[in-house]
Structure 1
């Protein structure tokens, strides 16, 4: 907590170098038009307030609103775009379960040893409940989704490229490990995914910039607490979306809003 008069305000970091104080705003937007479809303002800290955590809430709200719209032929499936911050196993799993495609840049893998083996160099056999390392050693996956190679690493000729731990290499596998592996493989093998991401992300980034700034200057919140600041955010996003729709031909005639035929 950074303020006794604004106790919901928190420290956070955009990156290891960029520190922020205050709140975190989240938005979902249709990338082709820039129309904002959902928003939330939360405390800056807490797993439930993280980007993928709030995105899961957006997904659940969308599914509830569209309940019954999708038929047996799959109508209603969507593509969801996001940067690597949204590339968690939980969010990918939620999108997969909802029948949507996640066009999300995978989080980069970090090797325990520079230039050494990553988790993708280990072969996972989920039906058998085992993992095989690059040296060919196989160990079981525990109930907590850990894989402990332990003493097998002691005399392994590849250990210098695998781990610096004296107790050997240990893997922690996510429940959605298969989805994460497939996402990394698809991102590397399918340039069309990267092209879609590069094509659509700038449009949403532009929406974010419009929300967070005015006249080239970054906006500052006027209120204390998430409730009032969230109310401010919803009014701002509604105004920006209305401006976008008016620019696309939205008119009000006889008390009814409609898009003009030439812009539909």
Structure 2
């Protein structure tokens, strides 16, 4: 890469993982929270968009361990990442997208916005709880009890891996479990988000004209993608692409479909 990784003043970490001709900077922010941006390496590989693709971690999330109080500026410090580079398309997966929609100061700084398996408000949690009751996973319950008693990073990893059948289609569970097993997990980030964000989240802005892509796995059981059906989330500047036979990490099962969607947006932004 022509540029090395760097951190912003508040400790947001940006690492370049792909570079192709083009002037766009694609900033990939992971979901979770607590699961590092390494979870999005496969997404970066799948989409192959023009420009530089970066993996982004908030201070204190994933493997981006910093001193002091890393969560003091969450999620507003994402502005620093958007200001650090020209022609930024911010991509948020799941909770990462929710963080982006909680920072209205981002809108004038971006060339585009991508929301993958994300939601406009915390209403998704009700559907998620109902799903877990309808499709219980005893392994998650057991791992969750251990984590509650001793919330270490390793115990969080075990919960995350046990929940793979909720996050992937049956065809994608093996690859998905292997993906989750490799991820750095951060219990402190999970705790902060649970106490300060998850249940009270509601988007604070929606793009007025900014080219925007919503990517939804048809079989996503974690975050209800039907929440995007409201008329206020439509417009000529919004592309909503449903990915068949894909779940919460749609690039795992259908990299081709996700790639096509990203390239649609890239054509709009570059044009």
Q: TM-score, normalised by structure 2?
A: 0.26
Q: Which has the higher strand share?
A: 1
Q: Higher Cα Rg: structure 1 or 2?
A: 1
**Which structure has the highest helix share of the two?**
2
Greater relative contact order (CA < 8 Å, ≥ 6 in sequence):
2
TM-score (norm 1): 0.26
